[in-house]
């Protein structure tokens, strides 16, 4: 946390940058107010880097465009209905929004957009006091009507107005509280936390797309565990992602198994660590994080209490993949994300048979083939799924997976494993068998693919001989 003087020094430096200075001069010349607002001001106090430049003004969207057009390399008005104009000024992307005084009718999923005339009124309608800070330009004057600086120093999230009013205006702010708790490492103020629990049903008013976006932002923070706990503890998760609180399985005195909820949060933590340390994926990777959080959601439906105190979860991988597909579709995730997450959940147990006995090269090839373009993510999820406190067991599993990755690398180098295909394509199959296109071509292709996976490269001549033998055995020739 920076001192107020240090933060103002940083903000003064930001105000003197070419982009901000040019905008401040242009709006002042046109007779409009302009202020840097929200994240950039907050982050100056936290000593964090500034990526986005957000401004607010008393100019209408038309007025903003009149000012911006002559000084911008590009501009766009996709958010014009909500008072926001985007522009590229001096090489930096900025967003400039008219003062807002939005109102919700209590039932609609979207606010009635109302433009305001006062910076202070705009700020007190924002989500949290730490985001309700502004720097007037070009005066370099800090505006903090709700005590945001004090809350930044205390590490507290609190709404500028009564939380019941703020969350009633926009229930999505409750999910933002969870996200900022994770992103900033802050605690949610007691009254604000109580309002989240009391108003959890109001999240049903928010569109699936907005819920999805906020959940994705939470998962892409450096440490999302804190925010997920908040969503679960306040009852919000039960309405937007009920599979997570459902992981809190009852454990009786006769049947014992690890706490699936806590295990899933630990797997998420470890997956993020692997994602960063391996450096083979663009981080943050939403697919990895969704798969880690959801990988065991099939357990509640498959739990069986066995004689002798054992507990089984047979086929929870398959059931979990289906549940994940259903939930992610309801949250309007894109098809590629849904497919990837479901595939990872379906495959997350596959490796654990590797330690029971040495896999053949055929088994390794099939592991790679089934993972497809999700192989690196599967490596991360599988390693992260080891949460045992038994150091000897953890080391054994870790060494076994090291061995599997080495074998995959060796086979990949020898056989171009990532592109495993039969040695005959569809045209060659039809020419060899003297047949026309049809389902039997696919059956022949699958047969040759199984040969390739089981035996490795055998050459085109041997593949033709095997194909002809298969064809003769069918009796279709």
Distance CA 223, CA 216 (A): 13
> If we measure between CA atoms, which residue out of 135, 129, 145, 226 comes closest to residue 179?
226
CB 120 within 8 A of CB 152: no
Distance CA 261, CA 150 (A): 35
34 and 107 housed in the same domain? yes
Q: Where are the beta strands (DSSP E) in 223-380?
A: 304-305, 311-312
Altogether, the residues listed in the chain come to a count of: 477
- Considering the entire predicted model, what is its pTM? 0.83
| Reported confidence tier of residue 309, pLDDT bands at 50, 70, 90 | low
357 and 415 housed in the same domain? yes
Last residue of a domain, one of 101, 122, 154: 154
Distance CA 74, CA 379 (A): 43
CB 19 within 8 A of CB 94: yes
Q: Provide the residue range defining the domain that includes 435.
A: 426-474
107 and 215 housed in the same domain? no
**Alpha-carbon separation of residue 420 from 23, 250, 453 (angstroms):** 56, 45, 8
What torsion, rounded to 10 degrees, do the Cα atoms 126, 157, 4, 99 define?
0
98 and 216 housed in the same domain? no
Last residue of a domain, one of 154, 176, 206: 154
CATH number, domain of 285, equals 1.10.3210
To which H or E segment does residue 141 belong? strand 141-143
What digits encode the pLDDT tens for the residues 45-64?
Answer: 998 877 789 999 999 999 99
To which H or E segment does residue 413 belong? helix 391-415
Distance CA 469, CA 444 (A): 11
- Give the whole-number percent of the chain exceeding pLDDT 70: 92
Distance CA 235, CA 395 (A): 38
265 and 350 housed in the same domain? yes
Q: Give yes or no for residue 162 having a pLDDT over 50.
A: yes
| Reported confidence tier of residue 415, pLDDT bands at 50, 70, 90 | low
313 and 459 housed in the same domain? no
65 and 43 housed in the same domain? yes
| Reported confidence tier of residue 356, pLDDT bands at 50, 70, 90 | low
Count structural domains, the chain: 4
CATH number, domain of 173, equals 1.10.110.30
Last residue of a domain, one of 98, 126, 154: 154
Query: At how many degrees (to 10) do helices 361-371 and 439-455 cross?
Result: 130
411 and 274 housed in the same domain? yes
387 DSSP 8-state letter: -
CATH number, domain of 149, equals 3.30.460.10
Pairing of strands 53-57, 92-98: parallel
Q: How many helices (H) and strands (E) does the chain have?
A: 23, 11
146 and 166 housed in the same domain? no
Estimate the share of the chain in helix, then strand, then coil, as percent rounded to the nearest 5.
60, 10, 30
Q: Give yes or no for residue 149 having a pLDDT over 70.
A: yes
What residues contact 320, with CB distance under 8 A and at least 6 apart?
Answer: 294, 295, 296, 297, 298, 299, 345, 346
| Reported confidence tier of residue 119, pLDDT bands at 50, 70, 90 | very high
147 and 170 housed in the same domain? no
200 and 273 housed in the same domain? no
Q: Give yes or no for residue 431 having a pLDDT over 70.
A: yes
The region of weakest confidence among 27-41, 220-234, 311-325, 422-436 is: 422-436
To which H or E segment does residue 135 belong? strand 134-137
CB 118 within 8 A of CB 102: no
232 and 250 housed in the same domain? no
CB 310 within 8 A of CB 255: yes
Q: Strands across the sheet with 92-98, in order?
A: 74-76, 84-89, 92-98, 53-57, 34-37, 134-137, 141-143
| Reported confidence tier of residue 105, pLDDT bands at 50, 70, 90 | low
The pLDDT value given to residue 227: 98
Distance CA 145, CA 164 (A): 19
Q: Give yes or no for residue 395 having a pLDDT over 60.
A: yes
> If we measure between CA atoms, which residue out of 233, 179, 167 comes closest to residue 204?
167
């Amino acid at each position: 946390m920076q001192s107020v003087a240090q933060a103002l020094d940083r903000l003064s430096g930001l105000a003197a940058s070419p982009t901000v200075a040019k905008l401040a001069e242009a709006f002042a010349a046109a007779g409009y107010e302009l202020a840097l607002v929200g994240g950039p001001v907050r982050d100056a106090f936290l000593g964090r880097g500034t990526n986005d430049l957000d401004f607010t003004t008393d100019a209408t969207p038309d007025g903003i465009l009149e000012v911006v057009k002559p000084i911008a390399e590009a501009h766009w008005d996709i958010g014009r209905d909500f008072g926001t104009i985007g522009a590229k000024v001096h090489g930096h992307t900025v967003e400039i929004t008219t003062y807002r005084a939005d109102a919700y009718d209590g039932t609609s999923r979207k606010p009635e957009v109302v433009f305001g005339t006062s910076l202070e009124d705009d700020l007190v309608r924002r989500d949290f006091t730490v985001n309700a800070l502004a720097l007037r330009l070009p005066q370099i004057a800090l505006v903090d009507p709700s005590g945001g600086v004090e809350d930044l120093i205390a590490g507290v999230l609190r709404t500028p107005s009564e939380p019941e009013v703020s969350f009633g205006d926009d229930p999505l702010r409750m999910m933002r509280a969870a996200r900022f708790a994770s992103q900033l490492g802050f605690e949610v103020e007691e009254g604000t936390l109580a309002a989240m629990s009391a108003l959890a049903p109001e999240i049903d008013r928010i569109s699936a797309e907005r819920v999805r976006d906020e959940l994705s932002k939470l998962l892409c923070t450096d440490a999302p565990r804190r925010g997920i706990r908040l969503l679960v503890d306040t009852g919000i998760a039960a309405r937007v992602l009920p599979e997570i609180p459902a992981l809190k399985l009852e454990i009786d005195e006769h049947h014992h198994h690890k706490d699936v909820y806590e295990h899933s949060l630990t797997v998420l933590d470890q997956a993020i660590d692997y994602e960063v340390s391996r450096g083979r994926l663009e981080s943050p990777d939403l697919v990895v994080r969704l798969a880690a959080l959801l990988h065991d959601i099939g357990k509640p439906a498959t739990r069986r209490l066995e004689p002798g105190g054992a507990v089984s979860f047979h086929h929870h991988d398959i059931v979990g993949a289906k549940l994940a597909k259903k939930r992610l579709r309801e949250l309007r995730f894109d098809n590629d994300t849904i497919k990837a997450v479901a595939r990872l959940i379906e495959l997350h147990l596959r490796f654990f048979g590797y330690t029971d006995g040495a896999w053949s090269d055929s088994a390794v090839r099939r592991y790679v083939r089934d993972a497809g373009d999700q192989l690196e993510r599967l490596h991360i999820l599988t390693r992260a799924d080891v949460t045992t406190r038994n150091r000897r067991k953890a080391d054994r599993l870790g060494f076994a997976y090291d061995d599997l990755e080495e074998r995959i690398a060796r086979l990949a180098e020898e056989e171009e494993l990532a592109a495993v295909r039969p040695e005959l394509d569809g045209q060659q199959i039809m020419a060899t068998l003297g047949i026309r296109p049809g389902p039997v071509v696919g059956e022949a292709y699958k047969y040759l693919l199984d040969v390739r996976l089981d035996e490795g490269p055998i050459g085109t001549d041997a593949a033709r001989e095997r194909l002809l033998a298969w064809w003769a055995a069918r009796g279709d020739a």
